Amino acid sequence: MINAARLQDEFLELASIASPSKREGTIARRLESILKGMGATVEVDGAGERVGGDTGNLLARFPGNTPGAPPFLLSGHMDTVGPAEAVHPVVEGDVVRTDGTSVLGGDDKAGVVAILEAIRVLRERAIPHGDIEVVLTICEEYGLLGAKHFDTGRLRAKRGLVLDVDGVCELITRAPAANRLTFTVHGLAAHAGICPEQGMSAIQIASVAIAAMKLGRLDAETTANLGVIQGGLAGNIVPAAVTVRGETRSLSVAKARGPDRAHAALLRRGGGPPRGAGG
């Protein structure tokens, strides 16, 4: 039923097209051409302008072949994480991998080609189905920005699948709420080789605070992570400021948003603020 060679060839083609978040224009144009060639009508919305990207979300519609059958939605995302400026997939038997210089982009181009192949099979084998709506979004990796700026009122389907998960036997029916975290620690600049005692290292202060945080998995529903730390001007200057960015995620909205329990669980293991942390 599935044309494995066609599936692989299409995945290799799409994976080879660089499509970092906010720069999905090239792959969007290629997918628009593929979808139209399959018989769909395709629209591009204005989400790209709203998020500072070079294209919007794609909405494709395929007519059904069974009157009265309900419409169905299939969705995935076009962007990938980096590094992905030049992607060179390597095929080893049934395995496709990256050459080690970039990501592969299986997230989510594997989902996109699965959608395309499924529709081809439905139509080639004349399997009964209602109208099919396909939404391919931008900026998923930046926090579902494309989906957030998509007008769901344009959809007729009340049911659908989003193909964006590992494995073929797993169905996810809920997703975590997320809160982004950014804080700046201020210290006092000084020359590190002449008078370091006159300075106060923002990096050292931040490191004390971070060491006291409970990160990783907080409980069965909740995780916390600090992913970026930026600060300092030079190796011989006591840093005056450092900025830290991270996030918390939880299947419980209360835990993700709660100013007491969730915040306290993220910032410290117990007691008060970490000693030595100031600024």
Q: Active-site residue numbers?
A: 79, 140
The first and second tokens of residue 270, run together, are: 């117990």
In this structure, how many other beta carbons lie within 10 angstroms of the beta carbon of residue 188?
Answer: 14
Among positive and negative, which fits the CA dihedral 34, 112, 76, 27?
negative
Distances (CA, A) of 238 to 43, 201, 210: 53, 5, 19
Closest of 140, 154, 142 to residue 109, by C-alpha? 140
In this structure, how many other beta carbons lie within 10 angstroms of the beta carbon of residue 134?
Answer: 24
With 0-12 CB in 10 A as exposed, 13-18 as middle and 19+ as buried, what is 56? buried
The first and second tokens of residue 77, run together, are: 């995302």
